[in-house]
Chain A
């Protein structure tokens, strides 16, 4: 079965450079989540999109932005990179239950393999 695809898998950047991470969700999943996991840390939620609109925002720095496109893939754009941005970046996707409360989510989130970003 198709899983969540992330690219690139590894990325090395210098301080103050920019980076773009891509995520291709599982087909027919309409929600994408981005998480950041620092070394030895638990994953922290950054931002999510439902049907191409931002649905929630977590601890995402102002230097980062993201969007979801018409084909449901998502990109996380990171500017003015800092050493502390070195981490594993995960994308997850899910299919929301289409009930009266459209943002109600009780479905499983399936994670991609992650992009390992190293900022030198």
Chain B
């Protein structure tokens, strides 16, 4: 069954606004990663946050991780039309189903940034 749940499923904002996407997971993790996917294209790695980290920044991206609540958020500041894509969180759950290393993806948030 699915490890990550994301909300909202779809988000529509105007250029310049901030976009926040949330992800929850069920089991203990080693790390959590966020990926972006343009429609029908490949997955682009955005940021990885380890289980002992609480916050991480990369350019206009800010990721937080709350292991006590088993949740993470991705904030994109000053959004641009080019940020329009689907955003997935993925966990590397060492003990989840006995697997090691593979990623378990959430359903994704479809972000639309209008110019």
Q: A residues within 8 Å of B by Cβ?
A: 31, 33, 35, 42-45, 48, 50, 55-56, 58, 88, 90, 92, 94, 96, 103-106, 108-114, 116
Contacts and interface: CB of A to CB of B under 8 A. Distances in A.
B99 A109 contact: no
Interface of B: 2, 30-31, 33, 35, 40-45, 48, 50, 88, 92, 94, 99-108
A37 B60 CA distance: 28
20 contacts: A33-B101, A42-B105, A42-B106, A42-B108, A43-B88, A45-B99, A48-B102, A55-B100, A55-B101, A56-B99, A58-B99, A92-B43, A92-B103, A104-B94, A106-B31, A109-B33, A109-B45, A111-B43, A111-B45, A113-B41
B92 A106 contact: yes
Given A106-B31, A106-B50, A112 B42 contact: yes
A109 B30 CA distance: 14
Contact of B45 (A35, A45, A105, A110): A110
B17 to A, nearest CB: 25
A94 B94 CA distance: 16
A103 B101 contact: yes
A90 B30 contact: no
B42 A105 contact: no
Given A105-B92, A111-B35, A33 B45 contact: no
B27 to A, nearest CB: 15
Contacts of A88: 40
Contacts of B41: 113-114
Given A55-B101, A104-B30, 14 more contacts: A35-B103, A45-B99, A55-B100, A56-B101, A58-B99, A88-B40, A90-B42, A94-B101, A104-B101, A105-B30, A106-B31, A108-B48, A111-B43, A113-B41
